[in-house]
Amino acid sequence: MTRILVSEVGPRDGLQSIDRVMPLEAKKAWIAAEAAAGVREIEVGSFVPPSLLPQMADTTELVAFAKTIPGLNVVALVPNAKGAARAVEAGVDAMSIPFSMSETHSIKNVRKDHPAMLLEIEEAARIAHAGGKHFAVGLATAFGCTIEGAVPQDTVVRLAEKALEAGADEVGLSDTTGYADPAQVRRLVQAVRRVAGDRLTTLHLHNTRGLGLANAVAGLEVGITTLDASLGGLGGCPFAPGASGNIVTEDLVLMLNSMGFDTGIDLEKLLEVRKIVAEALPGEPLYGFTPDAGPMLDYAERIAG
């Protein structure tokens, strides 16, 4: 049975995209409940200035809390080398830095063009490795940009190689804007693999146009073993207009478990976590079909066999 890692990004990607700030205790309850359901990796926040994203102001406290949970890989996003230093000090297990393949988006998102961003990645990698931390680069807008439109495949391959040369332990492909389709996912994964090899394992997909799960399956078909998702489909990018909707964790877990993949996640327990988020963010839209429809009648047989 193939093991697939479902990495929960809701406490970071989901919460940075809404105006309200979820209370710290509710975030802790969310993280603890997901870990109890079998989720093995959670991106708990990001080390960005609170003035830019007040939703992430308590990331240091969340890291400290999450590190008390046995078996949980605690991840945070960092925008730059300064954020990497804060992440090391906080004690994360791993960190990732977004590197937009669209230069226009990169400038809007982190105020750096590609050459400047590669220098930042090199310094962040040095800091992470000095602290003994795993350092990943998320290749954002890899499938297209709401500002520039199409992003050439050759650009993504070239910048992926440069990110690895700058010190990334791995690279992941991010459909920041929800532009990907399954055929494109297969092509791009295979193309980047030619320079990254087994240092490409992760897809970060959005369901903006309803193709999230189809794109996930396409990734699985070409050897992807880690899929990011957000509980209730919370998420998007504040600097990419119209880019809403991460893959819904509940729907992804149902699909993977039903297909015979080993996620280690108990779906029934996962569905209960949704109540914590709903109570902490009353009125905030939560998405997903599985929470409403429930699992299939033969779901237990499917996951057993």
Query: What span, in angstroms and rounded, lies between the C-alpha atoms of 269 and 286?
Result: 17
Q: Give the residues across from 46 on adjacent strands.
A: 77
Structural domain spans, the chain: 5-304
Contact 86, 130 (CB under 8 A): no
List, for residues 80-112, the tens digit of each pLDDT value: 999 999 999 999 999 999 999 999 999 988 889
SS (H, E, C) the chain: CCECEEEECHHHHHHHHCCCCCCHHHHHHHHHHHHHCCCCEEEEEECCCCCCCHHHCCHHHHHHHHCCCCCCEEEEECCCHHHHHHHHHHCCCEEEEEEECCHHHHHHHHCCCHHHHHHHHHHHHHHHHHCCCEEEEEEECCCCECCCECCCHHHHHHHHHHHHHCCCCEEEEECCCCCCCHHHHHHHHHHHHHHHHHHEEEEECECCCCCHHHHHHHHHHCCCCEEEEEHHHCCECCCCCCCECECEHHHHHHHHHHCCCECCCCHHHHHHHHHHHHHHCCCCCCCCCHHHHCCCCCHHHHHHC
Q: What is the CATH number of domain 5-304?
A: 3.20.20.70
List, for residues 28-63, the tens digit of each pLDDT value: 999 999 999 999 999 999 999 998 899 999 999 999
Residues annotated as catalytic (active site), given as ranges: 237
Q: Is 232 left (phi over 0), alpha (psi -120 to 50) or beta?
A: left
Residue 160 has pLDDT above 80, yes or no: yes
State the CB neighbour count (10 A cutoff) for residue 109.
Answer: 21
pLDDT score for 78: 97
pLDDT score for 240: 44
Distances (CA, A) of 240 to 42, 132, 234, 243, 244: 23, 33, 15, 6, 9
Q: How confident is the model at residue 185 (pLDDT cuts 50, 70, 90)?
A: very high
pLDDT score for 263: 98
List, for residues 243-271, the tens digit of each pLDDT value: 457 999 999 999 999 999 999 999 999 99
pTM for this model (two decimals): 0.96
Contact 39, 269 (CB under 8 A): no
Distances (CA, A) of 13 to 192, 206, 236, 299: 24, 11, 6, 30
The token pair at 242 is: 């119209």
Distances (CA, A) of 116 to 78, 95, 101, 151: 16, 20, 13, 19
pLDDT score for 243: 45
Q: Which residue has the tokens 């997901």?
A: 34
Q: Give the residues across from 176 on adjacent strands.
A: none
Contact 62, 44 (CB under 8 A): yes
Q: How confident is the model at residue 21 (pLDDT cuts 50, 70, 90)?
A: very high
